[in-house]
Chain A
């Protein structure tokens, strides 16, 4: 008995029962934690399982982004046109010369793949207004996304991964995937029908996902945006880049930036009732209101080694107040998967070989 303990001693049975209850509570608490962490759910599409799927698809490339692995850094600025200030209260839409750190890249997880005209190209931008909230966006030169959910994203990755036995994707898995995802079949038709431009400079990049813009009066509208090339569109000519080298798209961009700045018009497309915000495989009607938000000027290029873009995660949900994510599930999928990819490649920094578009290719230009 403890001094002052007024209770009767526990019988052996009561003691054992109480010990068992404590043990059960602790085990349950530990199990709950393990369950929420996804360790007991082999079917949950966790961030780690996405990383494994990327690796199965593209191999191990330490230090590189798990997707859009091949790219280069650029810098420039944004000049607001003022017209978007009535749609979004974000400071950026009435500022001039907002510094930009961007990245041009090719879709896919292979950092040394040869440039091909049909590979999806991307433009990622980080707007850094002084004294105001930053904005990050990753845009692609396709009209719609091929998938509309994290499930579709994951399954497409798995279905198109090479079979270790043959080195090629298993046609049956691809067929199973396509059968289960009619939205991808529709989207792929739009993607294949797009006009392919000659390079990065005359290409137009789209947010694909929808967002909400909120102005200072609290009015919210759904929107998608595009960076529309000011450089005139020149259609891809397969003959023009025969023997041009495996980085021809990037070399061409570097050559142009060596002589002049490149410009894109940032244009918001405002959705109307019935336009899906949660399905990025669906295009919005062509006649939707377009608002010119301002001009993106890209003036200089740097290799990833010297540039400021390499250590930036272009998470599309890093948004200033005045732009918010929509209910599109791909936004959370992109945000979470990019975050994991960023964490892994940051830890692998010391193991990263020089990027395909090396400082040498850029003529040793210092950042």
Chain B
């Protein structure tokens, strides 16, 4: 079947797996640093800020690539409910890739904390100092991080279901490696 062999472009696959690793590291660094008071805290914070900005930049590249190269459609055999669930979860994942770094940047601006990346490289504030607003953004940053991780787990569960149970080529369309010979 024609749909069966369709895959994401190599750039889309590269961005997917690279960002998957970065976002997972980011979420673990984030949840680890806000509960830590040891020296680990400083290293995690110093990693969290530049990694977050890098994810934001890659999210722009990724969205652009997705618009230019639409992904292969899901198999027609997939029930409508699951098609919708896939669309909603993908929308959420894309939205959070943008929202999380922007929220982080905005909350540091409102605090106000300097947004150091490395050396003397600093990002400008995107909000005026406002402690009450900072507190709200800071709480949202955590709430959305938990939502992000939950959606990632749903996405992972769905991917594994496609790969191990449905075996419908959806997982393969994003998996790395060479294209398997068409039967």
- CB neighbours of B77 from chain A (8 A): 2-3
Stretch at the interface among A64-72, A200-208, A258-266, A330-338: A330-338
Instruction: Given A336-B37, A337-B37, check contact A2 B166 (CB 8 Å).
Output: yes
**Are B149 and A134 within 8 A (Cβ)?**
no
A interface majority secondary structure: helix
Selected from A5, A150, A310, A318, the residue in CB contact (under 8 A) with B37 is A150
Q: Assign chain B's interface to a size class.
A: 35 or more
Selected from A5, A30, A47, the residue in CB contact (under 8 A) with B168 is A5
**Are B134 and A7 within 8 A (Cβ)?**
no
- CB neighbours of B45 from chain A (8 A): 335
- CB neighbours of A337 from chain B (8 A): 37
Instruction: Given A2-B75, A313-B113, check contact A22 B157 (CB 8 Å).
Output: yes
Contact with B along A333-361 (1 / 0, CB 8 A): 10111001011001101100000000000
- CB neighbours of A44 from chain B (8 A): 35
Selected from B27, B119, B160, the residue in CB contact (under 8 A) with A25 is B160
Q: Is B21 an interface residue (CB 8 A)?
A: no
CA distance A320 to B116 in the complex (A): 9
**Are A47 and B131 within 8 A (Cβ)?**
no
**Are A332 and B153 within 8 A (Cβ)?**
no
**Are A332 and B1 within 8 A (Cβ)?**
no
Number of A interface residues, CB 8 Å? 55
Residues of B149-170 at the interface with A, using a CB-CB cut-off of 8 Å, are: 149, 153, 156-157, 160-161, 164-169
CA distance A48 to B35 in the complex (A): 7
Q: Is A6 an interface residue (CB 8 A)?
A: yes
Q: Is B183 an interface residue (CB 8 A)?
A: yes
**Are A25 and B37 within 8 A (Cβ)?**
no
Q: Is A21 an interface residue (CB 8 A)?
A: yes
CA distance A5 to B119 in the complex (A): 54
Selected from B35, B131, B135, B168, the residue in CB contact (under 8 A) with A2 is B168
CA distance A315 to B114 in the complex (A): 11
Instruction: Given A327-B39, A332-B39, check contact A318 B113 (CB 8 Å).
Output: yes
Instruction: Given A2-B168, A4-B4, A313-B113, check contact A329 B38 (CB 8 Å).
Output: yes
Q: Is A15 an interface residue (CB 8 A)?
A: yes
**Which residue of chain A has the shortest Cβ distance to B120 in the bound complex?**
A321
**Are A36 and B42 within 8 A (Cβ)?**
no
- CB neighbours of A318 from chain B (8 A): 113-114
Q: Is B50 an interface residue (CB 8 A)?
A: no
Instruction: Given A26-B157, A343-B135, check contact A332 B40 (CB 8 Å).
Output: yes
CA distance A312 to B134 in the complex (A): 11
Smallest Cβ distance from A317 to chain B, in angstroms? 6
Q: Is B132 an interface residue (CB 8 A)?
A: yes
Smallest Cβ distance from B161 to chain A, in angstroms? 6
**What are 27 pairs between A and B in contact, CB < 8 Å?**
A2-B168, A4-B3, A15-B165, A22-B160, A22-B161, A29-B153, A33-B31, A36-B28, A36-B35, A37-B31, A37-B32, A45-B38, A47-B34, A47-B36, A133-B122, A150-B37, A315-B113, A329-B38, A331-B42, A343-B134, A343-B135, A343-B138, A346-B111, A346-B131, A347-B132, A347-B136, A349-B131
19 additional A-B pairs beyond A318-B114, A343-B134, beta carbons within 8 Å, are A2-B167, A2-B168, A29-B156, A33-B28, A36-B31, A37-B32, A37-B34, A37-B35, A38-B36, A47-B36, A133-B122, A310-B131, A313-B113, A327-B39, A333-B37, A340-B34, A343-B138, A346-B131, A347-B132
Task: Name the 3 nearest CB pairs between A and B, nearest first.
Answer: A38-B35, A347-B135, A4-B1
